[in-house]
Protein backbone atom coordinates (compact mmCIF):
# COMPACT_ATOMS: atom_id res chain seq x y z
CA UNK A 1 0.00 0.00 0.00
CA UNK A 2 1.49 3.30 -1.03
CA UNK A 3 1.74 6.13 1.45
CA UNK A 4 -0.69 8.98 0.94
CA UNK A 5 0.67 12.04 -0.75
CA UNK A 6 1.20 14.94 1.61
CA UNK A 7 1.38 17.69 -1.00
CA UNK A 8 -1.72 19.12 -2.65
CA UNK A 9 -2.35 17.82 -6.16
CA UNK A 10 -3.15 19.78 -9.28
CA UNK A 11 -4.55 18.37 -12.53
CA UNK A 12 -3.35 20.18 -15.67
CA UNK A 13 -5.34 19.61 -18.86
CA UNK A 14 -3.85 21.05 -22.07
CA UNK A 15 -3.07 19.66 -25.52
CA UNK A 16 -0.04 21.94 -26.06
CA UNK A 17 2.95 19.99 -24.81
CA UNK A 18 5.16 23.06 -24.30
CA UNK A 19 2.56 24.92 -22.25
CA UNK A 20 1.72 21.79 -20.29
CA UNK A 21 5.38 21.33 -19.41
CA UNK A 22 5.72 24.99 -18.38
CA UNK A 23 2.74 24.68 -16.07
CA UNK A 24 4.06 21.43 -14.59
CA UNK A 25 7.49 22.91 -13.82
CA UNK A 26 5.96 26.02 -12.22
CA UNK A 27 3.61 24.02 -10.03
CA UNK A 28 6.31 21.54 -9.00
CA UNK A 29 8.52 24.44 -7.90
CA UNK A 30 5.64 25.57 -5.70
CA UNK A 31 5.81 22.22 -3.89
CA UNK A 32 2.73 20.70 -5.53
CA UNK A 33 2.12 17.28 -7.07
CA UNK A 34 1.01 17.48 -10.70
CA UNK A 35 -0.94 15.13 -12.97
CA UNK A 36 -1.13 16.04 -16.64
CA UNK A 37 -3.73 15.19 -19.29
CA UNK A 38 -3.77 16.18 -22.95
CA UNK A 39 -7.51 15.70 -23.56
CA UNK A 40 -10.87 15.35 -21.85
CA UNK A 41 -10.76 11.54 -21.77
CA UNK A 42 -7.52 11.44 -19.79
CA UNK A 43 -8.73 14.21 -17.46
CA UNK A 44 -11.93 12.29 -16.71
CA UNK A 45 -9.91 9.16 -15.97
CA UNK A 46 -7.74 11.03 -13.45
CA UNK A 47 -10.83 12.55 -11.80
CA UNK A 48 -12.52 9.15 -11.53
CA UNK A 49 -9.39 7.70 -9.94
CA UNK A 50 -9.31 10.58 -7.42
CA UNK A 51 -12.99 10.10 -6.62
CA UNK A 52 -12.46 6.36 -6.04
CA UNK A 53 -9.53 7.04 -3.74
CA UNK A 54 -11.51 9.59 -1.74
CA UNK A 55 -14.44 7.17 -1.37
CA UNK A 56 -12.16 4.35 -0.20
CA UNK A 57 -10.65 6.48 2.55
CA UNK A 58 -7.34 8.10 3.42
CA UNK A 59 -4.21 6.13 2.66
CA UNK A 60 -5.78 3.86 0.05
CA UNK A 61 -5.20 6.00 -3.01
CA UNK A 62 -4.82 9.49 -4.37
CA UNK A 63 -7.00 12.08 -2.71
CA UNK A 64 -9.05 14.85 -4.32
CA UNK A 65 -7.38 17.52 -6.41
CA UNK A 66 -6.73 20.93 -4.87
CA UNK A 67 -7.11 22.52 -8.31
CA UNK A 68 -7.93 21.57 -11.89
CA UNK A 69 -6.46 23.81 -14.59
CA UNK A 70 -7.81 23.24 -18.09
CA UNK A 71 -7.50 24.80 -21.50
CA UNK A 72 -10.73 25.89 -23.15
CA UNK A 73 -10.11 24.10 -26.47
CA UNK A 74 -9.13 20.42 -26.38
CA UNK A 75 -8.90 17.78 -29.15
CA UNK A 76 -11.98 15.86 -28.01
CA UNK A 77 -14.17 18.69 -26.74
CA UNK A 78 -14.28 21.93 -24.83
CA UNK A 79 -12.85 22.66 -21.44
CA UNK A 80 -16.24 24.13 -20.62
CA UNK A 81 -17.58 20.56 -20.42
CA UNK A 82 -14.99 19.76 -17.77
CA UNK A 83 -15.89 22.91 -15.86
CA UNK A 84 -19.52 21.83 -15.61
CA UNK A 85 -18.60 18.26 -14.64
CA UNK A 86 -16.15 19.26 -11.92
CA UNK A 87 -18.50 21.93 -10.54
CA UNK A 88 -21.30 19.38 -10.28
CA UNK A 89 -19.43 16.29 -9.07
CA UNK A 90 -16.45 17.75 -7.15
CA UNK A 91 -17.83 20.74 -5.25
CA UNK A 92 -14.68 21.10 -3.13
CA UNK A 93 -12.35 21.12 -6.14
CA UNK A 94 -11.93 24.52 -7.79
CA UNK A 95 -11.39 24.52 -11.54
CA UNK A 96 -9.73 27.32 -13.50
CA UNK A 97 -9.52 27.81 -17.26
CA UNK A 98 -6.81 29.00 -19.63
CA UNK A 99 -8.24 31.21 -22.35
CA UNK A 100 -6.73 32.49 -25.57
CA UNK A 101 -5.60 36.13 -25.68
CA UNK A 102 -8.51 38.48 -26.15
CA UNK A 103 -11.13 35.77 -25.50
CA UNK A 104 -12.80 37.65 -22.67
CA UNK A 105 -16.20 36.27 -23.66
CA UNK A 106 -15.00 32.70 -23.16
CA UNK A 107 -13.74 33.57 -19.70
CA UNK A 108 -17.11 35.04 -18.74
CA UNK A 109 -18.92 31.94 -20.01
CA UNK A 110 -16.59 29.71 -18.00
CA UNK A 111 -17.09 31.75 -14.85
CA UNK A 112 -20.85 31.59 -15.25
CA UNK A 113 -20.57 27.81 -15.65
CA UNK A 114 -18.80 27.52 -12.29
CA UNK A 115 -15.11 28.12 -12.96
CA UNK A 116 -13.15 29.35 -9.97
CA UNK A 117 -10.99 31.72 -12.00
CA UNK A 118 -9.28 32.13 -15.36
CA UNK A 119 -5.90 33.06 -16.79
CA UNK A 120 -5.16 34.31 -20.31
CA UNK A 121 -2.50 33.23 -22.79
CA UNK A 122 0.37 33.92 -22.90
CA UNK A 123 0.38 32.69 -19.32
CA UNK A 124 2.02 35.11 -16.87
CA UNK A 125 3.68 32.92 -14.26
CA UNK A 126 3.25 35.45 -11.46
CA UNK A 127 -0.48 35.54 -12.08
CA UNK A 128 -0.56 31.75 -12.25
CA UNK A 129 1.12 31.47 -8.84
CA UNK A 130 -1.31 33.95 -7.30
CA UNK A 131 -4.29 32.07 -8.70
CA UNK A 132 -3.00 28.70 -7.45
CA UNK A 133 -2.36 30.11 -3.97
CA UNK A 134 -5.91 31.47 -3.88
CA UNK A 135 -7.25 28.03 -4.80
CA UNK A 136 -5.17 26.35 -2.09
CA UNK A 137 -6.55 28.74 0.51
CA UNK A 138 -10.15 27.89 -0.31
CA UNK A 139 -10.37 24.97 2.10
CA UNK A 140 -7.98 26.46 4.63
CA UNK A 141 -9.27 28.53 7.60
CA UNK A 142 -8.89 32.27 7.34
CA UNK A 143 -6.86 33.34 10.42
CA UNK A 144 -7.69 37.02 10.04
CA UNK A 145 -11.43 36.48 9.73
CA UNK A 146 -12.65 34.37 12.68
CA UNK A 147 -16.28 35.18 11.93
CA UNK A 148 -16.09 34.29 8.26
CA UNK A 149 -16.71 30.58 8.32
CA UNK A 150 -20.08 29.00 7.64
CA UNK A 151 -20.44 28.20 11.34
CA UNK A 152 -19.50 31.68 12.56
CA UNK A 153 -21.73 34.70 13.04
CA UNK A 154 -22.81 36.46 9.88
CA UNK A 155 -22.87 40.17 9.20
CA UNK A 156 -26.27 39.70 7.59
CA UNK A 157 -28.74 39.32 10.45
CA UNK A 158 -32.10 37.62 10.12
CA UNK A 159 -33.75 34.23 10.41
CA UNK A 160 -36.31 34.69 7.64
CA UNK A 161 -36.33 32.26 4.72
CA UNK A 162 -35.01 34.85 2.28
CA UNK A 163 -32.04 35.66 4.53
CA UNK A 164 -31.18 32.01 5.07
CA UNK A 165 -31.22 31.48 1.31
CA UNK A 166 -29.09 34.60 0.83
CA UNK A 167 -26.43 33.41 3.30
CA UNK A 168 -26.33 29.99 1.64
CA UNK A 169 -25.86 31.61 -1.75
CA UNK A 170 -23.06 33.81 -0.42
CA UNK A 171 -21.28 30.75 0.99
CA UNK A 172 -21.27 29.23 -2.50
CA UNK A 173 -20.21 32.42 -4.25
CA UNK A 174 -17.33 32.98 -1.84
CA UNK A 175 -15.49 29.97 -3.27
CA UNK A 176 -15.27 31.53 -6.72
CA UNK A 177 -13.16 34.40 -7.95
CA UNK A 178 -15.80 35.42 -10.51
CA UNK A 179 -17.01 39.03 -10.47
CA UNK A 180 -20.28 39.52 -8.60
CA UNK A 181 -22.92 42.20 -9.22
CA UNK A 182 -25.02 42.95 -6.13
CA UNK A 183 -28.43 44.45 -6.79
CA UNK A 184 -30.64 45.93 -4.13
CA UNK A 185 -32.45 49.02 -2.99
CA UNK A 186 -30.63 51.78 -1.14
CA UNK A 187 -29.98 50.81 2.45
CA UNK A 188 -30.50 47.07 1.93
CA UNK A 189 -26.93 46.16 2.96
CA UNK A 190 -25.01 45.77 -0.30
CA UNK A 191 -21.65 46.57 1.30
CA UNK A 192 -22.35 44.18 4.17
CA UNK A 193 -23.03 41.43 1.63
CA UNK A 194 -19.80 42.25 -0.20
CA UNK A 195 -17.83 42.13 3.05
CA UNK A 196 -19.45 38.80 3.88
CA UNK A 197 -18.39 37.36 0.51
CA UNK A 198 -14.84 38.59 1.06
CA UNK A 199 -14.72 37.24 4.63
CA UNK A 200 -15.76 33.74 3.54
CA UNK A 201 -13.41 33.64 0.55
CA UNK A 202 -9.79 32.61 0.34
CA UNK A 203 -8.94 36.33 0.18
CA UNK A 204 -10.23 37.01 3.71
CA UNK A 205 -6.75 37.84 5.01
CA UNK A 206 -6.17 40.40 2.25
CA UNK A 207 -7.56 43.95 1.91
CA UNK A 208 -11.20 44.75 1.25
CA UNK A 209 -11.49 48.16 -0.45
CA UNK A 210 -14.95 49.71 -0.92
CA UNK A 211 -15.21 52.62 -3.35
CA UNK A 212 -18.25 54.85 -3.89
CA UNK A 213 -17.99 55.57 -7.61
CA UNK A 214 -20.51 58.39 -7.39
CA UNK A 215 -18.47 60.33 -4.83
CA UNK A 216 -15.28 60.71 -6.90
CA UNK A 217 -14.91 63.77 -9.15
CA UNK A 218 -14.57 62.71 -12.78
CA UNK A 219 -11.25 64.55 -13.18
CA UNK A 220 -9.70 62.50 -10.35
CA UNK A 221 -11.08 59.08 -11.20
CA UNK A 222 -8.13 57.67 -13.12
CA UNK A 223 -5.67 58.80 -10.45
CA UNK A 224 -7.85 57.38 -7.66
CA UNK A 225 -8.34 54.01 -9.35
CA UNK A 226 -4.89 53.43 -10.87
CA UNK A 227 -2.55 55.72 -8.92
CA UNK A 228 0.11 58.07 -10.29
CA UNK A 229 3.86 58.57 -10.43
CA UNK A 230 5.67 61.44 -8.81
CA UNK A 231 5.59 64.51 -11.05
CA UNK A 232 2.90 63.06 -13.33
CA UNK A 233 0.92 66.27 -12.98
CA UNK A 234 0.93 69.47 -10.98
CA UNK A 235 0.59 68.61 -7.32
CA UNK A 236 1.83 65.00 -7.65
CA UNK A 237 4.62 65.45 -5.10
CA UNK A 238 4.86 61.73 -4.31
CA UNK A 239 4.03 58.44 -5.96
CA UNK A 240 0.68 57.05 -4.91
CA UNK A 241 -1.11 53.73 -5.34
CA UNK A 242 -4.70 53.59 -6.54
CA UNK A 243 -7.62 51.48 -5.43
CA UNK A 244 -6.51 48.51 -7.54
CA UNK A 245 -3.06 48.44 -5.96
CA UNK A 246 -4.51 48.92 -2.47
CA UNK A 247 -6.83 45.93 -2.97
CA UNK A 248 -4.16 43.72 -4.53
CA UNK A 249 -4.70 40.13 -3.44
CA UNK A 250 -8.09 41.01 -1.97
CA UNK A 251 -11.45 42.39 -3.04
CA UNK A 252 -12.37 45.70 -4.66
CA UNK A 253 -16.00 46.75 -4.24
CA UNK A 254 -17.32 49.26 -6.77
CA UNK A 255 -20.35 50.73 -5.05
CA UNK A 256 -22.82 52.71 -7.17
CA UNK A 257 -20.97 51.54 -10.28
CA UNK A 258 -23.74 52.94 -12.48
CA UNK A 259 -22.46 56.45 -11.71
CA UNK A 260 -19.17 55.87 -13.54
CA UNK A 261 -18.76 58.13 -16.59
CA UNK A 262 -18.38 56.39 -19.94
CA UNK A 263 -14.73 57.42 -20.34
CA UNK A 264 -13.84 55.74 -17.05
CA UNK A 265 -15.88 52.67 -17.94
CA UNK A 266 -13.53 51.99 -20.88
CA UNK A 267 -10.43 52.15 -18.67
CA UNK A 268 -12.03 50.06 -15.97
CA UNK A 269 -13.00 47.38 -18.49
CA UNK A 270 -9.42 47.03 -19.67
CA UNK A 271 -8.09 46.83 -16.12
CA UNK A 272 -10.56 44.06 -15.25
CA UNK A 273 -9.92 42.08 -18.44
CA UNK A 274 -6.14 42.34 -18.50
CA UNK A 275 -5.65 42.39 -14.71
CA UNK A 276 -3.07 45.07 -15.23
CA UNK A 277 -3.13 48.79 -14.53
CA UNK A 278 -0.87 51.67 -15.52
CA UNK A 279 -0.31 54.55 -13.16
CA UNK A 280 -0.61 58.05 -14.54
CA UNK A 281 2.86 59.06 -15.71
CA UNK A 282 4.15 55.46 -15.90
CA UNK A 283 5.31 53.73 -19.08
CA UNK A 284 4.66 50.14 -18.02
CA UNK A 285 1.67 48.30 -16.64
CA UNK A 286 1.75 46.38 -13.39
CA UNK A 287 -0.15 43.20 -12.59
CA UNK A 288 -2.91 43.34 -9.99
CA UNK A 289 -4.93 40.51 -8.49
CA UNK A 290 -8.31 41.71 -7.29
CA UNK A 291 -11.76 40.24 -7.17
CA UNK A 292 -14.37 42.72 -8.36
CA UNK A 293 -17.70 43.08 -6.59
CA UNK A 294 -19.96 45.78 -7.98
CA UNK A 295 -23.15 47.15 -6.49
CA UNK A 296 -25.90 49.51 -7.55
CA UNK A 297 -29.52 50.28 -6.82
CA UNK A 298 -30.10 51.21 -10.47
CA UNK A 299 -31.13 48.93 -13.33
CA UNK A 300 -27.91 48.39 -15.30
CA UNK A 301 -29.66 46.58 -18.14
CA UNK A 302 -31.90 49.58 -18.64
CA UNK A 303 -28.88 51.91 -18.57
CA UNK A 304 -27.19 49.72 -21.20
CA UNK A 305 -30.26 50.02 -23.42
CA UNK A 306 -30.18 53.80 -22.95
CA UNK A 307 -26.48 53.98 -23.83
CA UNK A 308 -25.50 55.26 -20.39
CA UNK A 309 -23.54 52.11 -19.47
CA UNK A 310 -21.23 50.04 -21.66
CA UNK A 311 -22.59 46.63 -22.58
CA UNK A 312 -19.18 44.95 -22.53
CA UNK A 313 -18.48 46.24 -19.02
CA UNK A 314 -21.94 45.12 -17.91
CA UNK A 315 -21.25 41.55 -19.06
CA UNK A 316 -17.84 41.62 -17.41
CA UNK A 317 -19.23 42.78 -14.05
CA UNK A 318 -22.47 40.81 -14.12
CA UNK A 319 -20.93 37.33 -14.27
CA UNK A 320 -22.78 36.31 -11.10
CA UNK A 321 -25.79 38.28 -9.87
CA UNK A 322 -26.75 38.55 -6.22
CA UNK A 323 -30.05 40.22 -5.31
CA UNK A 324 -30.70 41.52 -1.80
CA UNK A 325 -34.28 41.49 -0.47
CA UNK A 326 -35.77 44.78 0.77
CA UNK A 327 -36.67 45.05 4.43
CA UNK A 328 -40.41 45.00 3.69
CA UNK A 329 -40.01 41.43 2.38
CA UNK A 330 -38.40 40.25 5.60
CA UNK A 331 -40.65 41.75 8.28
CA UNK A 332 -40.04 38.66 10.45
CA UNK A 333 -36.47 39.89 10.97
CA UNK A 334 -37.50 43.27 12.42
CA UNK A 335 -37.35 42.07 16.02
CA UNK A 336 -33.85 40.66 15.66
CA UNK A 337 -32.62 43.67 13.67
CA UNK A 338 -34.10 46.12 16.17
CA UNK A 339 -32.44 44.35 19.10
CA UNK A 340 -29.07 44.31 17.33
CA UNK A 341 -29.28 48.02 16.41
CA UNK A 342 -30.41 49.12 19.87
CA UNK A 343 -27.67 47.05 21.50
CA UNK A 344 -25.17 49.02 19.44
CA UNK A 345 -26.81 52.40 20.06
CA UNK A 346 -27.58 51.94 23.76
CA UNK A 347 -25.37 52.88 26.67
CA UNK A 348 -23.95 50.78 29.46
CA UNK A 349 -25.91 52.74 32.07
CA UNK A 350 -29.34 52.17 30.61
CA UNK A 351 -30.94 49.35 28.65
CA UNK A 352 -33.27 50.40 25.85
CA UNK A 353 -36.79 48.97 26.01
CA UNK A 354 -39.50 49.01 23.35
CA UNK A 355 -42.87 50.25 24.55
CA UNK A 356 -46.23 48.68 23.67
CA UNK A 357 -47.05 48.60 19.98
CA UNK A 358 -43.61 49.75 18.78
CA UNK A 359 -42.68 46.54 17.00
CA UNK A 360 -46.14 46.33 15.45
CA UNK A 361 -45.81 49.91 14.20
CA UNK A 362 -42.46 49.07 12.64
CA UNK A 363 -43.89 46.00 10.94
CA UNK A 364 -46.62 48.13 9.42
CA UNK A 365 -44.15 50.57 7.87
CA UNK A 366 -42.83 50.12 4.32
CA UNK A 367 -39.21 51.22 5.01
CA UNK A 368 -38.31 52.78 1.64
CA UNK A 369 -34.81 53.28 3.04
CA UNK A 370 -34.57 49.66 4.26
CA UNK A 371 -32.18 48.75 7.10
CA UNK A 372 -30.38 52.08 6.94
CA UNK A 373 -33.67 53.87 7.54
CA UNK A 374 -34.47 51.52 10.43
CA UNK A 375 -31.17 52.50 12.03
CA UNK A 376 -31.93 56.19 11.60
CA UNK A 377 -35.45 55.80 13.01
CA UNK A 378 -34.22 53.96 16.09
CA UNK A 379 -31.36 56.37 16.69
CA UNK A 380 -33.76 59.34 16.52
CA UNK A 381 -36.32 57.56 18.72
CA UNK A 382 -33.64 56.83 21.28
CA UNK A 383 -32.87 60.55 21.50
CA UNK A 384 -36.53 61.32 22.23
CA UNK A 385 -37.18 58.36 24.53
CA UNK A 386 -37.79 58.95 28.24
CA UNK A 387 -35.87 56.71 30.64
CA UNK A 388 -34.76 54.47 27.76
CA UNK A 389 -38.32 53.43 26.82
CA UNK A 390 -39.14 53.99 23.14
CA UNK A 391 -42.79 54.72 22.50
CA UNK A 392 -44.66 54.65 19.19
CA UNK A 393 -44.67 58.44 18.99
CA UNK A 394 -40.86 58.50 19.33
CA UNK A 395 -40.50 56.61 16.05
CA UNK A 396 -41.87 59.56 14.02
CA UNK A 397 -42.54 57.26 11.07
CA UNK A 398 -43.17 59.16 7.84
CA UNK A 399 -46.85 59.40 7.06
CA UNK A 400 -47.74 58.01 10.48
CA UNK A 401 -50.11 59.82 12.84
CA UNK A 402 -47.80 58.97 15.73
CA UNK A 403 -45.16 61.22 14.19
CA UNK A 404 -47.39 64.28 14.30
CA UNK A 405 -49.33 63.98 17.55
CA UNK A 406 -48.19 65.43 20.89
CA UNK A 407 -47.26 62.98 23.67
CA UNK A 408 -50.26 61.26 25.21
CA UNK A 409 -52.58 62.15 22.32
CA UNK A 410 -54.99 59.43 21.23
CA UNK A 411 -56.66 60.16 17.87
CA UNK A 412 -60.46 59.80 17.96
CA UNK A 413 -62.31 57.55 15.48
CA UNK A 414 -63.44 60.56 13.43
CA UNK A 415 -59.82 61.14 12.45
CA UNK A 416 -59.52 57.82 10.66
CA UNK A 417 -61.66 58.81 7.69
CA UNK A 418 -64.28 61.19 6.37
CA UNK A 419 -64.75 64.70 7.69
CA UNK A 420 -63.14 65.73 10.93
CA UNK A 421 -65.32 65.94 13.97
CA UNK A 422 -66.40 69.45 14.81
CA UNK A 423 -64.71 70.91 17.87
CA UNK A 424 -66.88 71.14 20.96
CA UNK A 425 -68.53 74.41 21.77
CA UNK A 426 -70.57 76.95 19.89
CA UNK A 427 -67.78 77.94 17.53
CA UNK A 428 -68.55 77.09 13.92
CA UNK A 429 -65.67 76.25 11.58
CA UNK A 430 -65.36 76.00 7.85
CA UNK A 431 -62.95 73.64 6.13
CA UNK A 432 -60.69 76.45 5.01
CA UNK A 433 -60.52 78.55 8.19
CA UNK A 434 -61.22 76.73 11.43
CA UNK A 435 -61.93 78.82 14.52
CA UNK A 436 -59.87 77.49 17.42
CA UNK A 437 -61.65 77.19 20.77
CA UNK A 438 -60.43 79.32 23.64
CA UNK A 439 -58.85 77.86 26.74
CA UNK A 440 -56.57 78.94 29.50
CA UNK A 441 -54.39 75.88 29.24
CA UNK A 442 -52.77 74.20 26.28
CA UNK A 443 -53.07 70.59 27.38
CA UNK A 444 -56.85 70.53 27.30
CA UNK A 445 -56.88 71.97 23.79
CA UNK A 446 -54.18 69.68 22.39
CA UNK A 447 -55.89 66.59 23.70
CA UNK A 448 -59.38 67.59 22.55
CA UNK A 449 -61.24 66.70 19.39
CA UNK A 450 -59.43 67.25 16.09
CA UNK A 451 -59.95 70.23 13.85
CA UNK A 452 -59.34 70.68 10.15
CA UNK A 453 -56.98 69.63 8.70
CA UNK A 454 -57.47 66.14 10.02
CA UNK A 455 -54.94 64.95 12.56
CA UNK A 456 -53.78 68.41 13.72
CA UNK A 457 -55.08 70.34 16.69
CA UNK A 458 -55.61 74.11 16.68
CA UNK A 459 -53.36 76.23 18.84
CA UNK A 460 -54.83 78.21 21.72
CA UNK A 461 -55.25 81.89 21.02
CA UNK A 462 -53.88 84.58 23.25
CA UNK A 463 -56.47 86.44 25.40
CA UNK A 464 -58.52 88.71 23.16
CA UNK A 465 -58.81 91.48 25.80
CA UNK A 466 -55.79 91.47 28.11
CA UNK A 467 -56.04 93.50 31.28
CA UNK A 468 -55.05 97.11 30.90
CA UNK A 469 -51.43 97.77 31.69
CA UNK A 470 -50.59 94.08 31.76
CA UNK A 471 -47.44 92.98 30.00
CA UNK A 472 -48.52 90.05 27.89
CA UNK A 473 -45.87 87.34 27.54
CA UNK A 474 -47.74 85.62 24.72
CA UNK A 475 -48.30 87.72 21.64
CA UNK A 476 -51.54 87.46 19.73
CA UNK A 477 -51.36 85.87 16.29
CA UNK A 478 -50.19 88.34 13.71
CA UNK A 479 -49.61 88.38 9.99
CA UNK A 480 -46.24 86.72 10.62
CA UNK A 481 -47.99 83.55 11.78
CA UNK A 482 -49.06 81.57 8.69
CA UNK A 483 -52.52 80.14 8.42
CA UNK A 484 -52.96 76.39 8.23
CA UNK A 485 -53.24 75.16 4.65
CA UNK A 486 -56.82 74.35 3.65
CA UNK A 487 -57.84 70.80 2.91
CA UNK A 488 -60.24 71.46 0.06
CA UNK A 489 -58.96 68.37 -1.73
CA UNK A 490 -56.81 65.37 -0.89
CA UNK A 491 -53.09 66.26 -1.04
CA UNK A 492 -51.16 64.78 -3.95
CA UNK A 493 -48.09 64.28 -1.73
CA UNK A 494 -49.07 63.38 1.82
CA UNK A 495 -45.58 63.51 3.43
CA UNK A 496 -44.92 66.97 2.00
CA UNK A 497 -48.37 68.17 3.04
CA UNK A 498 -47.93 66.88 6.60
CA UNK A 499 -44.49 68.45 6.84
CA UNK A 500 -45.91 71.80 5.71
CA UNK A 501 -48.76 71.62 8.23
CA UNK A 502 -46.31 70.70 10.99
CA UNK A 503 -44.08 73.59 9.99
CA UNK A 504 -46.98 76.03 10.03
CA UNK A 505 -48.14 74.87 13.46
CA UNK A 506 -44.67 75.28 14.93
CA UNK A 507 -44.35 78.74 13.36
CA UNK A 508 -47.69 79.75 14.89
CA UNK A 509 -46.58 78.56 18.31
CA UNK A 510 -43.30 80.44 17.99
CA UNK A 511 -45.08 83.60 16.83
CA UNK A 512 -47.47 83.45 19.79
CA UNK A 513 -44.58 83.08 22.22
CA UNK A 514 -42.36 85.65 20.50
CA UNK A 515 -40.00 82.78 19.59
CA UNK A 516 -39.58 81.59 23.16
CA UNK A 517 -38.90 77.96 22.35
CA UNK A 518 -39.45 76.73 25.90
CA UNK A 519 -42.93 78.27 26.01
CA UNK A 520 -43.67 77.10 22.45
CA UNK A 521 -42.74 73.53 23.36
CA UNK A 522 -44.97 73.70 26.43
CA UNK A 523 -47.77 75.12 24.32
CA UNK A 524 -47.48 72.20 21.90
CA UNK A 525 -47.17 69.61 24.66
CA UNK A 526 -43.75 68.38 23.57
CA UNK A 527 -40.30 68.59 25.08
CA UNK A 528 -37.85 71.37 24.29
CA UNK A 529 -35.53 68.83 22.69
CA UNK A 530 -38.29 67.54 20.43
CA UNK A 531 -39.15 71.07 19.33
CA UNK A 532 -35.51 71.84 18.60
CA UNK A 533 -35.18 68.67 16.53
CA UNK A 534 -38.35 69.44 14.55
CA UNK A 535 -37.14 73.01 13.92
CA UNK A 536 -33.85 71.68 12.54
CA UNK A 537 -35.61 69.06 10.41
CA UNK A 538 -38.05 71.61 8.95
CA UNK A 539 -35.41 74.35 8.61
CA UNK A 540 -37.23 76.76 10.93
CA UNK A 541 -34.91 79.56 12.01
CA UNK A 542 -35.48 82.32 14.51
CA UNK A 543 -35.72 85.73 12.75
CA UNK A 544 -33.03 88.30 13.41
CA UNK A 545 -33.83 90.91 16.06
Please determine, for residue 292, whether its predicted confidence score (pLDDT) is greater than 80.
Answer: yes
Helix (H) or strand (E) holding 73, with range, is strand 73-74
Mean of pLDDT values over 499-505:
88
Strand partners, 255: 212, 295
CATH topology of domain 9-136: Rossmann fold (3.40.50)
Please state, in angstroms and rounded to a whole number, the distance separating the CA atoms of residues 83 and 94: 9
Mean of pLDDT values over 13-35:
93
Mean of pLDDT values over 1-25:
81
Please state, in angstroms and rounded to a whole number, the distance separating the CA atoms of residues 350 and 304: 52
Tell me the pLDDT band of 447, cut-offs 50, 70 and 90.
very low
Please determine, for residue 231, whether its predicted confidence score (pLDDT) is greater than 80.
Answer: yes
Rounded to two decimals, what is the model's pTM?
0.64
Using a 10 angstrom Cβ sphere, with 0-12 exposed, 13-18 middle and 19 or more buried, the burial of residue 441 is exposed
What pairing do the DSSP bridges indicate for beta strands 291-296 and 320-323?
A: unpaired
pLDDT at 487: 62
Please determine, for residue 429, whether its predicted confidence score (pLDDT) is greater than 80.
Answer: no
pLDDT at 484: 56
Q: Where do you find CATH 1.10.10.60 in the chain?
A: 440-462+473-545
- Report pLDDT digits (tens) over 60-88: 556 789 999 999 999 999 999 999 999 88
CATH topology of domain 327-403: Helicase, Ruva Protein; domain 3 (1.10.8)
**Where is average pLDDT lowest: 3-7, 32-36, 420-424, 483-487?**
420-424
Using a 10 angstrom Cβ sphere, with 0-12 exposed, 13-18 middle and 19 or more buried, the burial of residue 462 is middle
Taking CA atoms, 509 is separated from 114, 472, 481, in Å, by 66, 15, 8
- CATH top-level class of 161-325: alpha beta
User: Are 303 and 258 in contact, with CB atoms under 8 Å apart?
Assistant: yes
Architecture field, domain 440-462+473-545:
Orthogonal Bundle (1.10)
pLDDT at 38: 94
481 or 33, higher pLDDT = 33
Using a 10 angstrom Cβ sphere, with 0-12 exposed, 13-18 middle and 19 or more buried, the burial of residue 182 is buried
Please state, in angstroms and rounded to a whole number, the distance separating the CA atoms of residues 383 and 364: 22
**Where is average pLDDT lowest: 94-103, 208-217, 267-276?**
94-103
Please state, in angstroms and rounded to a whole number, the distance separating the CA atoms of residues 517 and 514: 9
pLDDT at 138: 74
Q: Where do you find CATH 1.10.8.60 in the chain?
A: 327-403
Q: Where do you find CATH 3.40.50.300 in the chain?
A: 161-325
pLDDT at 41: 94
Q: Which of 58-72, 146-160, 484-498 has the highest mean pLDDT?
A: 58-72
Tell me the pLDDT band of 124, cut-offs 50, 70 and 90.
confident
Please determine, for residue 407, whether its predicted confidence score (pLDDT) is greater than 70.
Answer: no
Mean of pLDDT values over 217-238:
90
State the greatest distance between any 2 C-alpha atoms of the chain, in Å, as a whole number: 116
Amino acid sequence: MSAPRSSPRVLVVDDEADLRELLEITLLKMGLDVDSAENLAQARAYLAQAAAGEAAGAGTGPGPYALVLTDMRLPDGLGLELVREVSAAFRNTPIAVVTAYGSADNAVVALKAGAFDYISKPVALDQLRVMVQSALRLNAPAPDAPDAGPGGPSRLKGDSAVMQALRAQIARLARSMAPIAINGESGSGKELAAREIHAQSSRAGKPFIAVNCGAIPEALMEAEFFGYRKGAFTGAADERDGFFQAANGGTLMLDEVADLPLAMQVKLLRAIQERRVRKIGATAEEAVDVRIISATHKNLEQLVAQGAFRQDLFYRLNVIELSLPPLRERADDLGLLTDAILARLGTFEQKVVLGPGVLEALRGYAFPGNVRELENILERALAFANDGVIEVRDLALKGSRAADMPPGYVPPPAELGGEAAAPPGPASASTSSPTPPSSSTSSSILRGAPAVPQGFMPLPSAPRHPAAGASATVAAPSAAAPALPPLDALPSNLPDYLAQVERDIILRALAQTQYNRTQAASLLGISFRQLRYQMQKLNIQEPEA
